[in-house]
């Protein structure tokens, strides 16, 4: 066999058996939690922004690719959004950002009701 799977010149040898057994450790998946927050800062020119979570003190950073395609043109600072916060080794990131559709429009004032608003 001319080609070996392990380069024995580079791999260290074990003193007990003379063989090196590579060990693969599983990496844990980052935990994602769905949250509601407010867009703290957003720059369309730089294509990134920050989201402040309502239930947490951590701010999460996001890129334009993480925003839903239908919401990219209308996203602005101060809007309420829903997103998945991922706690990774580099800090908190926001993925799958969507404008919050659960917010209702403001109630009509008296002038609108007098005009027949229903």
Q: Are 100 and 81 in contact (CB under 8 A)?
A: yes
CA 30 to each of CA 24, 40, 91, 93, 106: distance values in angstroms, whole numbers, following the listed order:
18, 23, 11, 11, 38
CB burial class (10 A; 0-12, 13-18, 19+) of residue 102? exposed
Residue with tokens 């703290």: 40
- What are the beta bridge partners of residue 43? 48
Q: What is the pLDDT along the chain (118 residues), one digit of tens a residue?
A: 455 555 555 545 555 555 666 777 777 776 777 888 899 998 888 888 999 987 677 888 999 999 988 888 888 888 889 898 888 777 888 999 998 766 556 677 888 778 877 6
Rounded CA-CA distance 99/76 in Å is: 10
Instruction: State both tokens at 44.
Output: 């369309």
- What are the beta bridge partners of residue 49? 42, 62
pTM of the prediction? 0.58
């Amino acid at each position: 066999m001319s080609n070996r799977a392990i380069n024995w010149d580079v791999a260290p040898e074990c003193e007990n058996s003379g063989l090196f057994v590579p060990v693969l450790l599983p990496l844990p998946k980052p935990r994602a939690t769905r949250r509601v927050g407010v867009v703290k800062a957003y720059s369309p020119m730089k294509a990134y922004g920050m989201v402040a979570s309502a239930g947490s003190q951590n701010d999460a950073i996001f890129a334009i690719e993480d925003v839903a395609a239908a919401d990219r043109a209308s996203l602005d600072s101060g809007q309420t959004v829903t997103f998945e916060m991922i706690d990774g080794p580099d800090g908190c990131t926001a993925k799958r950002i969507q404008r919050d559709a659960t917010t209702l429009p403001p109630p009509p004032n008296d002038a609108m009701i007098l005009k027949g608003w229903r």
